[in-house]
């Protein structure tokens, strides 16, 4: 193993992130983002019909400072940008911006739930699953090398 191999492994998180991972896992990534888009749509519909899914007891007081429809729209916007960026041809900046929006939104909801009286389990789930997933996807988009040919 050479120094170059070691540094290459560090850059790609020991081979877990690959410059062509987006091409390889595109169907799964699109399906996951469509699921988040659907959740955002259902959440938005719930807020528009007077539902009570966005409460201080669940999400914390800080998150409730902003309208629930804004949180739903943020989730839909981030997921839409990521999905559109994953379509062929891959648009790296759409993926990176969409992932950044998702990270800010999920981290914000998690910090609110942990720090201002929300449910701890509701906070941990996005912080452990969705935030790292979108950070890794943004990193993959940043180092993306498209496959040869169309």
Q: Which two tokens stand for residue 7?
A: 């540094």
Q: How high is the mean pLDDT of the chain?
A: 85
Q: What's residue 42's pLDDT? A: 93
Q: Shortest CA distance to 85 belongs to which of 104, 63, 68, 102?
A: 102
Residue 5: which pLDDT band, with cuts at 50, 70 and 90? low
**Confidence label for 24 from pLDDT (cuts 50, 70 and 90):** confident
Read off the pLDDT of residues 87-130 as tens digits, 9 standing for 90 and up: 988 899 999 999 999 999 999 999 999 999 889 998 898 999 99
- The structure's pTM equals 0.83
């Amino acid at each position: 193993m050479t120094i170059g191999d070691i540094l290459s492994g560090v850059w790609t998180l020991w081979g877990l992130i690959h410059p062509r991972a987006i091409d390889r896992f595109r169907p799964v990534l699109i399906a996951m983002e469509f699921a988040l888009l659907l959740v955002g749509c259902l959440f938005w519909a719930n807020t528009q019909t007077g539902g009570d899914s966005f409460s201080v007891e669940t999400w914390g007081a800080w998150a409730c400072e902003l309208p629930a429809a804004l949180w739903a729209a943020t989730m839909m916007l981030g997921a839409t940008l990521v999905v559109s960026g994953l379509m062929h041809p891959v648009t790296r900046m759409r993926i990176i911006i969409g992932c950044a929006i998702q990270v800010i939104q999920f981290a914000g909801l998690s910090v609110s739930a942990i720090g201002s009286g929300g449910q701890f389990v509701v906070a941990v789930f996005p912080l452990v699953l969705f935030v790292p997933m979108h950070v890794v996807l943004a990193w993959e988009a940043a180092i993306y090398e498209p496959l040869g040919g169309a």
